[in-house]
Amino acid sequence: METTSTSTRTNSNNTPFSLISRGWKEVRDSADADLQLMRARANSFKNLANSFDREIENFFNSASIASFSVPSPLKSSTSPTEVDFVKKLRPKFSEIRRVYSAPEISKKVLEKWGPRAKLGIDLSAIKNAIVAGEEEGEERRGVVGLDRRRRLGFREFWGEGKEGGGGQFGEWKPIRVLKRRLREFEKKSEFGEIFGGFKNSEFVEKLKSSLKAIHKEPQESKEVPPLDVPELLAYLVRQSEPFLDQLGVRKDVCDKIVESLCSSRKNQLLLPSLSSGESTLLDENANDELDLRIASVLQSTGHCYDGGFWTDLSKHHPSDRKRHVAIVTTASLPWMTGTAVNPLFRAAYLAKSEKQNVTLLVPWLCKSDQELVYPNNLTFTSPEEQENYIRNWLEERIGFKANFKISFYPGKFAKERRSIIPAGDTSQFIPSKDADIAILEEPEHLNWYHHGKRWTTKFNHVVGVVHTNYLEYIKREKNGALQAFFVKHINNLVTRAYCHKVLRLSAATQDLPKSVICNVHGVNPKFLKIGEKVAAESELGQQAFSKGAYFLGKMVWAKGYKELIHLLAKHKNDLDGFNLDVFGNGEDANEVQTTAKRLDLNLNFLKGRDHADDSLHGYKVFINPSLSDVLCTATAEALAMGKFVVCADHPSNEYFRSFPNCLTYKTSEDFVARVKEALANEPHPLTPEQIYNLSWEAATQRFMQYSELDRVLDPEKDDVKLSKTNGRSITKAVSTPNMSEMVDGGLAFAHYCLTGNELLRLCTGAIPGTRDYDKQHCKDLHLLPPQVENPIYGW
């Protein structure tokens, strides 16, 4: 028993020592392995140096031979001075080899070279010189296609002219002497002519392969100076634009402030690549320069912005190569209004290219609302029936089969506002797999009472197209000024929160955030064919027009009828004998006709009809005095048919002024003069360029450009890089946190909370029960009840 106990204690005492012993053994083995690796690397470097020396010796030995083994033309150019120079170099190389092989150098190499050490000799100058020699052509001798290594200069070979030139051994006396000798030699003879016969030399090939194997380009690290106070203030103003806009400070004022802050240090704001004249995607203005400056500073610190509180990083990425475009509008055929017709044509021509899948999302009205909206008591019992009507109407006018999808969302008609209000979350009717690009026709209208997912969260790119000047309509109502004030700020909020880009058809619309002005509407091809027919008849000397003047539009006071009756009543005597045919239906038809009859005006009221109707082809003059339009479709159609158009000098008609048949007036006296001028003359035939500018092909091209849809649809341009510096890309999107995005997200969240309260919705004019769709919509569209679709869980 005692023996066993003693043995147990001995084993327990020996166990820790055995562990320590094994640990020291492992450390020693590892150290030995490291030392062997260091010796192997030192030997490899020494062998490389010896190989280099041997090649140099071979070079000098071959140089001492009179023939030089070169073609006969070069033999005659070789002088004894050049051979003497090569002989003078021999002792210098011997001295270099002696110094290079000194024990101190070997000791330093062994001290510096650990397992992770790198070669300390900078061979970049030699490599760059050889590469540059390959890229240069032989122009002196007029030979095309010769090897491009001939024009290699000694200064490039040894890296002179660069900062810190000379490399690691730049201070050695032998190197300085050698470089001086080489410069003298370069003055006497061209390096390429001497080495012309050695282009396939084994030495050159080995040197190149050694450089490629050993040398690695060092990463350039240029310090970026930090932001100064003016730059910080400029960036603060840029990011505070949403707040300043609400305070009445316009965007152009903010841009001027930023420009003034940046002008004092404009040269410092630009990166070296910009100052050197390299091409870049940066626009030459202070805002983009500031963005690039901020991005470069953030990138130099290693910071990468991955998104903020409101950013959704899990957006849709199309699985196939085709992108998906969803066009959402506020009206549908057979209601002949601009927001029903123009989005339909846009969908057809976007789908015509077949580069992207297109879906048109239009409102579905219950039968009771259809009777109030659609003309001639036309109603539909199912969405499929209405879709067939829409497609037949479209294909009769465009002449090709449009391959796009038509979907419906629930809507209700507001009698007071004479418009359709969406019911429920409109965005849910676009499947998540197709939620890529959204085009919101009338974005402010669609989002006044939108209580659902944020468009910019669900979609990658959201474009708003403003059709209507709502402020002009509201100002004509009771307490219009106060209502217009609130509507203006609500429009600013919803377009900022729900759109990436906003297109305004003309300057007649409200100046909204993120907006640009561009006419992205075209004309029905049927009108262009009528215009071509009229032009052909005029060339043959035939009379194309047999009737006088007419006006066509929905018969409501705001659609120009008020201005028309005022002008005709004021100049009744000046326009004696002038008769005007008026085509239109509307809520104010009785009142308009009664007023005209009371004033004894020469107006002949007729039922509304399609502008392309044969009965309207014979009219020569179209009169449109409306001041509430944004871009009158009827005006564009009349110009396309080759008619005269008399319209007001107003921002809504700015696009049409370039057409010679468009006659604008500023005063009522001008109106009379323009009407008489149009009746007394014949319209000018349209040129091919004018016809193209009115077409939907040209409108689609403008839309792609100004909405940035061409960049979004092109994968190579999807991530726009501001600049490239030293081979590194500076991308604003991933480097710069955007305070505007945070503000937009906060506004969207606040709007979502406000529109979720039924009392607040009713106070602001919403139709009762439009926060969710009703049972009739569920039945017509085969939807689940909103309580099932979006359940609310509670105690």
Query: Would you say the pTM of this structure is higher than 0.95?
Result: no
What's the DSSP call for residue 192? H
Q: Do you find a cis peptide bond into 768, omega within 30 degrees of 0?
A: no
Neighbours of 731 (CB within 10 A): 15
CA distances from 450 to 428, 439, 453, 756, 760 (A): 12, 16, 9, 9, 13
The residue assigned the tokens 């190499």 is 109
Share of the chain above pLDDT 90, in %: 31
The tens digit of pLDDT for each residue in 383-392 reads: 999 999 999 9
What kind and span of H or E run contains 421?
strand 419-422
pLDDT digits (tens, 9 = 90+) for 158-197: 444 444 444 444 445 555 666 666 566 555 554 444 444 4
**Mean per-residue pLDDT for 412-416?**
88
**DSSP H/E element including 743:** helix 739-755
Instruction: Identify the three-state secondary structure at position 581.
Output: strand
Average pLDDT, the chain: 75
| Beta carbons within 10 angstroms of residue 610's beta carbon | 16
| 608 CB-near residues (< 8 Å, 6+ apart) | 336, 375, 552, 554, 555, 583, 584, 585, 586
- For the stretch 678-691, pLDDT in tens is 999 999 988 889 99
Instruction: Give the alpha-carbon dihedral of 674, 675, 680, 685, to 10 degrees.
Output: 70
E strand or H helix that includes residue 423: none
CA distance 341 to 593: 27
Top-confidence residue, 48 or 277: 48
First to last CA, the chain: 74
Mean pLDDT along residues 224-252: 75
- DSSP character for 95? H
Give pLDDT tens digits for 571-618.
988 888 889 999 988 888 999 999 999 998 989 999 888 888 889 999
- Facing residues of 644 across strands? 621
State the Cα–Cα distance between residues 786 and 766, nearest whole angstrom. Answer: 18
Judged on CB neighbours under 10 Å (0-12, 13-18, 19+), 205 is exposed
Coil, strand or helix at 624: strand
Mean pLDDT, residues 348-376 taken together: 91
Between residues 645 and 156, the one the model is more confident about = 645
| DSSP at 579 | -
Q: How confident is the model at residue 732 (pLDDT cuts 50, 70, 90)?
A: very low
Per-residue DSSP letter, 35: H
Return d(Cα 545, Cα 553) in angstroms, integer.
Answer: 21
- 266-270, 290-294, 530-534 — which is least confidently predicted? 266-270
What CA–CA distances, in Å, run from 114 to 42, 44, 134, 496, 577?
10, 14, 36, 59, 106
Angle at 93 between CA 88 and CA 95, to 5 degrees: 105
168, 112 contact by CB (below 8 A): no
Mean pLDDT of 133-143: 44
What is each CA distance from 725 to 265, 291, 722, in whole angstroms?
Answer: 20, 15, 10
Single-letter code of the amino acid located at 114: G
**What pLDDT is recorded for position 92?**
53
Find the angle CA(683)-CA(689)-CA(694) to the nearest 5 degrees: 75
pLDDT of residue 194: 46
Q: Give the model's pLDDT for residue 316.
A: 52
pLDDT exceeds cutoff 60 at 147: no
Kindly report the backbone phi and psi dihedral angles of residue 172, in degrees, each rounded to the nearest multiple of 5, phi listed first: -70, 135
Mean pLDDT of 756-770: 88
- Identity of the residue numbered 545: F
- Reported residue count of the chain is 795
CA dist 55 and 47 (Å) reads 12
**Residue 516 bridge partners (DSSP):** 503
Beta strand pairing status for 405-414 and 419-422?
antiparallel
